[in-house]
Copies of this chain bind each other. A is one copy, B any other.
């Protein structure tokens, strides 16, 4: 059994093919490249019945890393799929599950893509990687780089939550906290990377990044007892998770594991909703100026090539795209915590808010099986509403509180 059954890279537009080298975009048309696998051979394996490895690496035949030596791991993946009967009942639904990604090593689903990205950096012999971040992606890349013994240079936006900056300070080899525009720094950083032989850990182009996120789709299918849900709700910023989930189910269908795809629902903030707008207007994506949203992980106005691909995934699966307001997100965070004990950050809870909205619009069959991807823990930030003022207790007050 091979470790990886990746056979080549292929441009999603012009079809140009490439060997398994460090390639980020098509050299002919500058479009996305994606991995092709020998899925016939994978389908013939007893896979993943008895997992030879843990977490995402259980799926090594359909991941692009070619040797177990470069399967960098901190126990990412294998996250719970949690049945949510109380939340479902409030919405009048029958069959709702949350895929909770907060238990990953750095508390978000980015660890799945960091594991394969840094695995590739190691595979291709890079000594250094760089990334520009608003917080979560940088912490995850720095963490996996540390694990792999690779130098990391992380440029982080100064408005990131303090707990994210402390985390970065501890994990990154070099942390640069900067004031001002994210986009300009990202462009300026990228210009130097090839010349300096620095691995590009940005998510906009690299096929090595979203490939790791594909494992979430495989896990959902297996956790449902080898069944395809009717809907999967996914937070969309650059569109990586959407692209990856689509890939996962197409691969499984090609291998004969299933005979249909789930309908994929793109969930965005009203302040940053280029995919939703394009979907509603039946057009292509038009980059937009981003407004403020509490869901900082989806504050992307120009998702680039993967955004286009994410829109294609929504349309191809007969899915939907929906955007929600901050107050709907905060409401969903609190409802999910109270009803099920699941504590999500705003970016993670955006799918729950979107579900509430779609149910109100009668766009979801109440009997459908629904999986909502909650992409992050709530532990990384300070979210409203603020707890009550501290009080001085006395025995009588305590008794009154308990007798209520």
Chain A interface residues toward B at CB < 8 A: 54-55, 73-75, 78-80, 82, 86, 100, 102-107, 130, 142-147, 149, 153, 155, 158, 162-163, 165-171, 173-180, 185, 188-189, 192-193, 196, 198, 333-334, 337-343, 377-383, 385-393, 395, 398-399, 401-404
Do the beta carbons of B185 and A393 come within 8 Å of each other?
A: yes
Contacts A/B (CB < 8 Å), 14 sampled = A74-B82, A106-B343, A145-B341, A146-B340, A162-B382, A163-B163, A166-B378, A170-B333, A170-B338, A174-B401, A176-B393, A176-B401, A178-B392, A178-B393
Give chain A's interface secondary structure class. mixed
A162 CA / B163 CA spacing, docked (Å): 11
Do the beta carbons of A379 and B382 come within 8 Å of each other?
A: no
- Which of A192, A334, A337 has the largest number of chain B CB atoms within 10 A? A337
Which residues from chain B contact A188 at a C-beta distance below 8 Å? Answer: 393, 395, 398
A237 CA / B379 CA spacing, docked (Å): 23
Which residues from chain B contact A178 at a C-beta distance below 8 Å? Answer: 390-393
Q: A176-B401, A192-B399, A393-B180 are in contact. Are A168 and B387 (CB under 8 A)?
A: yes
A55 CA / B80 CA spacing, docked (Å): 9
Do the beta carbons of B379 and A163 come within 8 Å of each other?
A: yes
Which of these, B55, B381, B389, contacts A163 with CB under 8 Å? B381
Do the beta carbons of B390 and A167 come within 8 Å of each other?
A: no
Known: A188-B395, A189-B402. 16 other contacts (CB 8 A): A74-B100, A74-B340, A78-B78, A146-B339, A155-B393, A163-B380, A170-B378, A175-B387, A176-B391, A176-B401, A177-B388, A177-B391, A178-B392, A179-B391, A189-B398, A192-B399
